[in-house]
C-alpha cells in the first residue's frame, strides 16, 4: 500500500450540486416543516405548537372532503385517460405523412399554458356564449357549470382529458413503435387474432411506458391547480375544491401558515405513498 496524502479539494466540485439541491429543495421544505410546528401572530414572532396543526388537519372534515374530491378526480381521470390514450395510439398510423400530422395534433394541447387551457374551457363551456355550453343547452340539456356541481365536474374532467390524454398517447405510441416487426410477423404466422396480438404482444410490451404514464398522470392530476382554479375556482360552492385549491385558500387566502404547512406535508406524503404503491403494484413479480 502506498501512502498518499488524500486531496480534500475535490469536495469543492460537489458544491454546486449541494447548493442547487439545498436552495431548490431542502431549505424550502425545511421552512415548511418549520412553519408546520409553530404559530405566529405576525411581527415575525413564532411560538412552538408541536403536532397541533397536524392533528387539526387530520381531524378536519374540510380536509377530508377535499381529499375525497381529489381522489375521485384522479381516479376518474386515470380510468378515462389511460385506456383512451392507448386506444388512440393503437389507431394512429405507423408510417407515412399521417404520422407527423397525428403527432403534431397530439402534442398541441401539451404546449398550451395551463391558465390558457383553463380560460379556454371556461369560455367554451359557458351556457350563454360558449360553443359547448350553448350547444348542450340548445340540444335540450340543462347545463350550467357555474351553478351545477355535476356540470362543473363534467367540464373539469373533460378539460383534463383534452389537456393530458395526448401525453399517454405519445408515450404509448413510442412504446408501440419500439416493438420489433418480428413479433407481429410471428403472430401472423401463428394465426393470432387482433385481440390476441394486443393482449399478448402489445400490452405486455407497453407495460413499462404505461407505468410511467400512470405515475405521471397520477402525480400531475393529484396536484392539479391552475386549470381548475381558472375554470371553476373550486365552485360552485366547494364542489370542485381540490386539495391544492384548498391549500392555497388556507395558506395564502387566510394566511394560516401553520395549518397550511402541516397540510402541505400531509399532501406531499400522500403523493409519495400512492406513487410508491403504484410502482410497487405494477412492477410486482418482475425481479426474481
Partner 1 sequence: MATIRFEGLHHSYRPAPRDDADADWALRGLDLEWGDGGAFALLGPSGCGKTTLLNLISGLLKPTRGRVLFGDDDVTRLEPGERNIAQVFQFPVVYDTMTVFDNLAFPLRNRGVGESEVARRVGEIAAMLDLEPTLGERASGLTADGKQKISLGRGLVRSDVAAILFDEPLTVIDPHLKWRLRSKLKELHQRVGRTMIYVTHDQTEALTFAEQVVVMLDGQIVQSGTPVELFERPHHTFVGHFIGSPGMNLLPCEVDSAGAARFAGVAVPTASRGAGSIRGKRLELGVRPEFVRFSETGIPVRVERCSDIGRYRIVDLAHGEHKIKMLAAEGVAVPSESGHVTFERHRTQLYADGWIVE
- What residues line the site for partner 1 (CB under 8 A)? 180, 182-183, 185-186, 188-193, 196, 200-201, 204-205, 288
What dihedral do alpha carbons 261, 25, 18, 50 form, nearest 10°?
A: 20
Stated as kind and residue range, the H or E segment containing 47 is strand 46-48
| Cβ 251 to partner 1 shortest distance, Å | 47
| Cβ 182 to partner 1 shortest distance, Å | 4
CA distance 197 to 192: 6
Q: Which is nearer to partner 1, 20 or 196 (CB)?
A: 196
Q: Which is nearer to partner 1, 192 or 216 (CB)?
A: 192
Q: Which is nearer to partner 1, 50 or 191 (CB)?
A: 191
Do the beta carbons of residue 143 and residue 151 sit within 8 Å?
yes
Say if residue 150 is exposed, middle or buried (CB neighbours under 10 Å; 0-12, 13-18, 19+): exposed
Q: Which is nearer to partner 1, 119 or 201 (CB)?
A: 201
Do the beta carbons of residue 231 and residue 121 sit within 8 Å?
yes
Q: Which is nearer to partner 1, 99 or 201 (CB)?
A: 201
CA distance 269 to 236: 29
Neighbours of 215 (CB within 10 A): 16
CA distance 150 to 156: 10
| Cβ 277 to partner 1 shortest distance, Å | 22
| Cβ 27 to partner 1 shortest distance, Å | 45
| Cβ 286 to partner 1 shortest distance, Å | 10
| Cβ 191 to partner 1 shortest distance, Å | 4
Do the beta carbons of residue 35 and residue 48 sit within 8 Å?
no
Residue 103, all three cell numbers: 403527432
CA distance 220 to 133: 27
| Cβ 33 to partner 1 shortest distance, Å | 44
Amino acid at each position: 500500500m502506498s501512502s498518499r496524502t488524500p486531496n480534500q479539494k475535490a469536495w469543492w466540485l460537489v458544491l454546486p450540486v449541494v447548493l442547487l439541491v439545498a436552495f431548490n429543495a431542502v431549505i424550502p421544505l425545511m421552512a415548511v416543516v418549520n412553519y408546520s410546528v409553530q404559530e405566529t401572530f405576525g411581527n415575525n414572532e413564532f411560538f412552538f405548537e408541536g403536532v397541533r396543526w397536524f392533528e387539526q388537519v387530520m381531524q378536519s372534515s374540510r380536509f377530508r372532503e377535499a381529499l375525497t374530491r381529489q381522489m375521485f378526480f384522479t381516479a376518474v381521470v386515470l380510468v378515462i385517460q389511460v385506456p383512451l390514450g392507448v386506444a388512440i395510439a393503437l389507431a394512429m398510423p405507423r408510417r407515412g405523412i399521417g404520422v407527423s400530422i397525428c403527432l403534431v395534433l397530439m402534442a398541441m394541447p401539451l404546449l398550451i399554458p395551463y391558465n390558457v387551457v383553463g380560460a379556454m374551457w371556461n369560455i367554451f363551456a359557458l351556457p350563454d356564449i360558449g360553443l359547448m355550453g350553448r350547444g348542450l343547452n340548445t340540444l335540450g340539456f340543462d347545463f350550467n357549470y357555474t351553478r351545477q356541481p355535476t356540470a362543473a365536474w363534467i367540464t373539469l374532467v373533460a378539460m383534463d382529458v383534452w389537456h393530458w390524454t395526448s401525453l399517454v398517447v405519445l408515450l404509448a405510441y413510442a412504446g408501440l413503435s419500439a416493438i420489433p416487426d418480428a413479433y407481429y410477423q410471428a403472430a401472423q404466422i401463428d394465426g393470432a387474432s387482433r385481440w390476441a396480438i394486443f393482449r399478448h404482444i402489445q400490452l405486455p410490451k407497453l407495460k413499462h411506458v404505461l407505468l410511467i404514464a400512470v405515475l405521471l398522470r397520477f402525480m400531475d392530476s393529484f396536484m392539479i391547480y391552475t386549470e381548475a382554479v381558472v375554470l371553476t375556482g373550486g365552485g360552485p360552492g366547494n364542489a370542485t375544491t381540490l386539495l391544492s385549491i384548498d391549500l392555497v385558500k388556507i395558506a395564502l387566502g387566510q394566511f394560516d401558515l401553520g395549518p397550511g404547512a402541516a397540510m402541505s406535508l400531509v399532501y406531499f406524503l400522500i403523493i409519495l405513498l400512492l406513487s410508491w404503491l403504484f410502482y410497487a403494484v405494477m412492477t410486482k413479480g418482475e425481479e426474481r
